[in-house]
Amino acid sequence: MKIAFSIFKYFPYGGLQKDLLKLVRECLSRDHEVRVYIGKLECEFPEKNCELVEVECSSITNHGGIKRFSDFVEWHLANNHVDLMVGMNKMPGLDVYYAGDSCYQAKTMSQRNRFYRLLPRYRQFLKFERSVFNATSKTRILTISDLEVPKFQKYYHTQKGRFFDLPPGITPFLMSPEGRKQRRIKFRAERGITELDRVLLFVGSGFKKKGLDRVIVGLASIKQRIAGNCRLLVVGDDNPKRHKRLAKSLGVSNEVDFLGGRENILEFLCGADGFVLPAYDENAGMVILESLVAGLPVLVTENCGYAGYVAAADCGLICPNPFEQSLFNSQLVDLITNPRRDQWILNGLKFAKNQDLYRMPHKAADYFEQFLNEDYPK
């Protein structure tokens, strides 16, 4: 079988980009031929055993570049046949869409004013989303959480039979309490962090979307309520200028370290005291599960797709919707002072051994093979 994947932007630390690589490698392991279309390639693509098509899609606007990318892919496919076209971004002509992003129309209606809906950007993104989810479309949709499904169905009347659930797909690793302790000691020693220091960890390449401002405001609020030093480590590939200004204005610039994108996330998960993700919009949140598996207590907002795993594992706290900063601040204190912290750690490690948190690429490839041998759902 020949499978094509498309993604508009590829960089090394994005969750969608990591998922793409896992899917490509799983398909290659099954002896399928794989082609990957990429618009903006910001690093070397790690997998060499596939056909890579770099698309020239420069434009003065982001939505203009995406339109050029989509048009090229459509033209190229017409002249270079594949059996299945899988999109990591919403665009016309897909056989399968990997639903890593939330519902654009729902977000627009709840977070934007009516003037935004007059912009060409809005019209194009809505058109692309409609091409995937409209009831007249035949695109199958692979979902990594059920959080957004009702929203898509509300706005596009998407048939239930076109949604296919996937389990999470974090990189398999199991952590023993002793192994975690040794990694923690090593991580802190290398960075001059004592056991009296309280370390919060934020991981994500979209600082605004994932709520870094909420964490910085919370840190400023609680630093006088916590014994010892309290630090925030920010790991992610994004422009930190806006959030550095916020930290400075709140008097916590010395307590916030912007570390850029990193490969060794596991070391940070073991070395920190708590992981925080008060996202404005998060369809899944793979790092939530990575924290759980590493035994790191977490505090996440209810609207994160994988927040339910935190409740199921009993390994931290969930901030309810609608978001209230004062409540989040109190939960931030609770996250690093609660006497149940040791139990949260053990709960997370135990949960990781007994749950299917790793099989997303395998299940997705099963679906790809299934789709070629059946009619489209009605």
For 278, the token pair is 């008060």
Pairing mode, if any, of strands 163-165 and 140-143?
parallel
Show Cβ contacts of residue 306 under 8 Å, excluding neighbours closer than 6 positions.
145, 168, 284, 285, 286, 288, 289, 300
Show Cβ contacts of residue 359 under 8 Å, excluding neighbours closer than 6 positions.
167, 169
Q: Is 89:139 a contact under the CB 8 Å cutoff?
A: no
Name the pTM for this structure.
0.93
Report pLDDT for 176. Answer: 84
Report pLDDT for 375. Answer: 59
Report pLDDT for 258. Answer: 97
Calculate the CA 4 to chain-centre distance: 22
- Domain 177-354, what fold? Rossmann fold (3.40.50)
Q: What is the C-alpha to C-alpha distance for residues 252 and 247, in angstroms, rounded to an integer?
A: 5
CATH of 2-167+359-371, one of 3.40.50.300, 3.40.640.10, 3.90.1150.10, 3.40.50.2000: 3.40.50.2000
Report pLDDT for 75. Answer: 97
Report pLDDT for 378. Answer: 38
Q: Is 93:6 a contact under the CB 8 Å cutoff?
A: no
Q: What is the C-alpha to C-alpha distance for residues 83 and 1, in angstroms, rounded to an integer?
A: 6
pLDDT along the chain (378 residues), means of 10: 97 93 98 98 96 96 96 97 97 98 95 94 98 98 95 98 96 83 95 93 95 97 82 96 97 96 93 97 94 96 96 97 97 96 95 91 98 67
Q: What is the C-alpha to C-alpha distance for residues 111 and 98, in angstroms, rounded to an integer?
A: 24
- Give the three-state DSSP class for 261: coil
Report pLDDT for 177. Answer: 87
Q: What is the C-alpha to C-alpha distance for residues 281 and 108, in angstroms, rounded to an integer?
A: 12
For 50, the token pair is 């596939």
For residue 3, give the H/E element and its range.
strand 2-10
For 236, the token pair is 């992610």
Q: Where in the chain is the domain with CATH 3.40.50.2000?
A: 2-167+359-371, 177-354
